[in-house]
Chain A
Amino acid sequence: MSASEVVLGLVIEHPGGGYHVAQRLNQRLASTNFAEPTIQRALRRLQQNGYVCLAEGKYEATPDGIEHFRRWLAASTPMPPVREELHAKIALCGPHDLPRLIEVIREAELACTAKLAELNRRTRRDREQRAPQGWQRRMSVIIEAGDIAWWEGRIKWLQDVRTELMRERDYGEVPQDYGPLTLLTDS
């Protein structure tokens, strides 16, 4: 996701300086973790393209900017790429790699669970500080659910992988003619 359209949408909602736009972005889309310099760069880019203008220290959307944002909102969303290193490791591992790979998956599962817990804590803290109501509250529940679903899906997939690999480790048969990786592990 590019920061530009998100920043533009926030400026359309409320004109403001770079710092305040960054603050609002992190409240509204906490999981994106855009750094403030990224937001500042996005604002400058939007200004160069004529989508926002700077007036009395505040960025405001231009009519072209509003039109560009509407087009972005209505456009189809591209599929996110799935290029996980873990996928490649599983695809290329051999029976002798299973004990270590199970450990790696356990570590990944713990890391994802920590992320989910952190997300929940941040959401609770934001709610206490900001307490959005009405439309914003309903939309924030949906966005949070999306973030949670992402981590939940990841955790459940890792659980499935761990269960299957542990079964292979404990009950699986090692093929007699298993190839070069086995030789490397044995040497």
Chain B
Amino acid sequence: MTAVPILSLVGVCKGFARGRRLEVRVLAEVSLELGAGEVVAVLAQRAGGKSTLLRVAGALERPDAGRVLFDGQDVWTLSDARRWGLLSGEIGFVGTQPPELDLPLVTLVALPMFATVGRAQAYARAHRTLDRVGVSQCAQQHWGSLADWERALAAVAIGVARSPKLLLVDDLTATLGLGETEEIVGLLGAFAREDGVGVLMGVSDGNATRTADRIATLAAGELLVPEDAPPSPARLIDFTSHRKPARRLDPRG
């Protein structure tokens, strides 16, 4: 058990302007703690705020209010260089977006490590990661030639290659079948247990919650988590009280 959670969200609010008179409340005073080696799945509808939650948790997006602490440090009080350091090493993202560069898979995995460990070491690590994830046979293939489940595994490889402390997974299994989903979430659970990675997953598919230590739900900006969750390395602060939106504007214009 860690004294300091890998990730703490404290009263995080985030909204987006939609047109002149409407603000969409995506996160309303969301509080969450995630420990090392723990998997938390956040179940929400498509467009239910999962991606925003993960982007805020991963310091890619600044919350309107509240604090985001990584390893006990408020990420928005860090220098830009230090925050960028987190994003390029200690925080890993796994999503379904295709990579921007059309390169062989092993190079996609190795590329972000060139600057930190050198080219040869980066390739060695990339091959090891692809092997561990189970897609070493695809090392020289390009993204476009991979099947959906191979892409999901490849995305995991890209996310974990730099040995992050926190892995943020955005609806990776939404288009996969039962067996494939079980394999992917099993793999993420194994990374959490064996490497002590804290895994926060946004999921729209209940099957993706199978290996989660805790499940939360997100809708109307509120993050809910059952109070009778089993003892875990971290504590989730429940947000159940009635709260009004920051701005009360009529969405019907």
User: B43 within 8 Å of A by Cβ?
Assistant: yes
Chain A neighbourhood of B106, CB < 8 A:
none
| B227 at interface by CB-CB < 8 Å | yes
Check B11 for interface membership: any CB of A closer than 8 A. Answer: no
Chain B, Cβ-Cβ closest to A100 = B242
Residue pair A159, B219 in contact (C-beta under 8 Å) = yes
Convert A91-134 into 0s and 1s, putting 1 for each residue whose CB lies closer than 8 angstroms to a CB of B.
00000000100110010011101101100110110000000000
Instruction: Tell me which of A99, A114, A120, A160 has the highest count of chain B C-beta atoms within 10 A of its own C-beta.
Output: A120
B178, B206, B215, B245, most chain A CB atoms within 10 A: B206
Please tell me which one of the listed residues A111, A116, A141 contacts residue B182 in the complex, with CB atoms under 8 A apart.
A141
Report whether over half of chain B's contact residues are helix, strand or loop; otherwise say mixed. loop
User: Interface on chain A toward B: helix, strand, loop, or mixed SS?
Assistant: helix
Within B5-46, the residues touching A (CB, 8 Å) are 43-45
A148 cross-chain contacts in B, Cβ below 8 A: 206-207, 209-210
- Interface magnitude class on chain B: 35 or more
Q: Is the CB of A167 within 8 A of B251?
A: yes
Q: When chains A and B are docked, how far (Å) is the Cα of A155 from the Cα of B248?
A: 27
Known contacts A116-B215, A159-B219; is-contact A145 B227 (Cβ 8 Å): no
Question: In the assembled complex, which residues on chain B have CB atoms less than 8 Å from the CB atom of A29?
Answer: none
Using an 8 Å CB-CB cutoff, how does the interface string of B196-219 with A read, 1 for contact, 0 for none? 000000000111011110111101
- B210 and chain A: residue at smallest CB distance: A120
With an 8 Å Cβ cutoff, the count of chain A residues facing the other chain is: 33
Question: Mask for B166-190, Cβ within 8 A of A = 1, else 0?
Answer: 0000000000001100100000000
**In the complex, are the beta carbons of A113 and B224 less than 8 A apart?**
yes
Are A156 and B212 closer than 8 Å at their CB atoms?
no
B206 contacts which of A106, A151, A170 (Cβ < 8 Å)?
A151
Q: Say whether B58 faces chain A, with CB atoms less than 8 Å apart.
A: no
- Residues of B whose CB lies within 8 Å of any CB of A are 43-45, 48, 178-179, 182, 205-207, 209-212, 214-217, 219-220, 222, 224-230, 240, 242, 244-245, 248, 250-252
Sample of 17 more A-B contacts, CB < 8 Å, known A117-B215, A124-B210, A159-B48: A103-B242, A113-B215, A113-B226, A114-B228, A114-B229, A116-B215, A117-B229, A120-B209, A120-B212, A121-B230, A142-B178, A144-B210, A152-B43, A155-B43, A162-B219, A162-B222, A171-B248
7 smallest CB-CB distances across A and B, nearest first, come from A152-B206, A159-B219, A114-B226, A148-B206, A163-B220, A117-B215, A166-B220
